[in-house]
Amino acid sequence: MRYAMAIDTKKCVGCSDCVVACQTENNVPHGYARDWIIEVIDGTYPQLELEYRSERCNHCDNAPCVRCCPTGASFIADGGIVKVEHDKCIGCGACIAACPYDARFVHPEGYVDKCTFCDHRLEKGQDPACVAVCPTKCLYFGDMDDPNSEVSKVVKKRKFKTLIPEAGTEPQLYFLI
């Protein structure tokens, strides 16, 4: 079992619904975000290209945030989901400094928080909140080990990139391009 997400940048409109859905689903406090949108524009008027990316924790296979955690609060759960156990976390910030994607933040209550792939929803057989809400259906989620899952199929079929592969984190978010 290896959970992964694919994000179709050709369909994403950067509306940020995935961000607000995550906030209401996961009680992310105002002013904080587990996921976010990047807009990249290249070129000169009128020859332009624009890419929207809905980003969140990459649930890296080789997760530096987990390796550097002194207490074991950051760990890799079933399906490769990188999680933080709140009452093991001392808030030392090492994992935050270690994540090249800035995917983690300090929750106002002191512990470090981040995307959980909505594992509480996965347990019930639901998609993560951001995936379920996306009006363009540009987020795909599922088990990469299962060749028949939507995410495996779309990653196989389409060209994709991952973010900062050079960092060696083996990210599990696939951006379809």
Among 76, 77, 100, 119, interactor with another protein by CB under 8 A: 100
Among 2, 76, 77, 92, interactor with another protein by CB under 8 A: 92
Q: With binding defined as CB under 6 A, does residue 107 bind ligand SF4?
A: no
60 binds, among ligand SF4, another protein, none (CB under 5 to 8 A by kind): ligand SF4
Q: With binding defined as CB under 6 A, does residue 144 bind ligand SF4?
A: no
Among 2, 3, 7, 45, interactor with another protein by CB under 8 A: 45
Residue 1 vs 24, nearer CB to another protein: 24
Give the whole-angstrom CA distance, residue 118 versus residue 138: 17
63 binds, among another protein, ligand SF4, none (CB under 5 to 8 A by kind): ligand SF4
DSSP track, 65-121: HHHT-SSS-EEE-GGG-EEE-GGG-----HHHHH-TT---EE-TTSSEE---TTHHH
Give the whole-angstrom CA distance, residue 85 versus residue 81: 12
Q: Going residue by residue from 47 to 66, which x/- string records binding to ligand SF4, judged by CB under 6 A? A: -----x-x-xxxxx--xxx-
Q: With binding defined as CB under 8 A, does residue 136 bind another protein?
A: yes
Give the whole-angstrom CA distance, residue 51 versus residue 72: 37
2 binds, among ligand SF4, another protein, none (CB under 5 to 8 A by kind): none
Q: From residue 135, give the alpha-carbon distance in Å to each of 22, 26, 90, 139.
A: 14, 19, 38, 10
- Is the distance from CB of 58 to CB of 35 less than 8 angstroms? no
Q: With binding defined as CB under 6 A, does residue 9 bind ligand SF4?
A: no
As beta bridge partners, residue 141 has: 5
Phi, psi of 55 (to 5 degrees): -115, 155
81 binds, among another protein, ligand SF4, none (CB under 5 to 8 A by kind): none
The 3-state DSSP class for residue 37 equals: strand
Site for another protein (CB under 8 A): how many residues? 77
